[in-house]
Amino acid sequence: MVLELHDICKSYLQGKEPVPVLHHIHLAVEEGEYLAIMGPSGSGKSTLMNIIGLLDQQTSGSYFFDGQDMAQCNDNQLSAIRNEKIGFVFQNFNLLPRQSVLENVALPLLYAGVRKKDRLARAKEMLARVGLEDRIQFKPTQLSGGQKQRVAIARAMVSHPRLLLADEPTGALDTRSGEQIMGLFEQLHQEGVTIVMITHEPEIARHAGRIVTIRDGKLEQGGFQETTTEQEDDAS
């Protein structure tokens, strides 16, 4: 099991009053699984993503990542897990505009203390995997939206993380670029990468093997896979 959430609750203080955002979340993700968490704006999905990605901490409940209780880790240990075991893909790419594509992809390895020769070689390898080996010296501002997201995916995967966490990965892309990115995710999944994707779009969520829905901070089990299969049967 890559991650397990047990009875996760999250509240934020508004003045002196706690405002609950997540209510008693239970979720487990197995190695190699491709999960979509779907919900509308304000449903709590971004808060849940931040907790899964160790960018925020729950108010109560337990989070186990790779069999380890995250509550027992200090800040340095949490930072190391984020950098080495979790790859992040964001809607707005979060690339450094003054750095080259190659330098952006190599950045997590720099933080991990990998020597320059090795990190650049691994970054070039990842860029080749996403079809951008001819863009390594470009700046992000010279790329299309779809190319920027490919760079972001290469950066997320360069450390060979246990989990690829994607937050609205096609939200800033046109339909064609979005489909290309989802095809790349499917390729990574077939290679055994564990993916958790946050989205509000049903057509994007359908690419996943399992879908859960979050609404008003509560996780509801559900999915579109059976519906999709029935529609394909009807079409044939």
Domain ranges in the chain are 33-51+80-229
* pLDDT > 90 fraction of the chain, expressed in percent and rounded: 89
Alpha carbon distance 196, 166 (integer Å): 6
Is the pLDDT score of 164 beyond 50? yes
Superfamily of domain 33-51+80-229: P-loop containing nucleotide triphosphate hydrolases (3.40.50.300)
Average pLDDT over residues 139-165: 96
Residue of 218, 221, 135, 130 lying closest to 180 (CA atoms)? 130
Nearest-5° Cα angle at 209, 208 to 212: 75
Tokens representing 116?
């320059």
Q: Please report the pLDDT score of residue 220 as a whole number.
A: 86
Alpha carbon distance 101, 129 (integer Å): 14
Q: pTM value? A: 0.89
Confidence of residue 232 (pLDDT cuts 50, 70, 90): very low
Residue 235 identity: A
Residue 74 identity: N
Residue of 101, 102, 119 lying closest to 110 (CA atoms)? 119
Q: Please report the pLDDT score of residue 41 as a whole number.
A: 87
Q: Encode pLDDT of 191-229 as tens digits.
A: 999 999 999 999 999 999 999 999 999 998 644 443 333
Q: Encode pLDDT of 166-197 as tens digits.
A: 999 999 999 999 999 999 999 999 999 999 99
Average pLDDT over residues 69-97: 94
Alpha carbon distance 199, 221 (integer Å): 15
Alpha carbon distance 85, 66 (integer Å): 9
Confidence of residue 25 (pLDDT cuts 50, 70, 90): very high
Alpha carbon distance 23, 17 (integer Å): 16
Strands 163-167 and 34-38: unpaired
Q: Where are the beta strands (DSSP E) in the chain?
A: 3-14, 17-29, 34-38, 60-65, 68-69, 86-89, 163-167, 195-199, 210-215, 218-221
What value does the mean pLDDT of the chain take?
Answer: 91
Is the pLDDT score of 236 beyond 80? no
Residue 33 identity: E
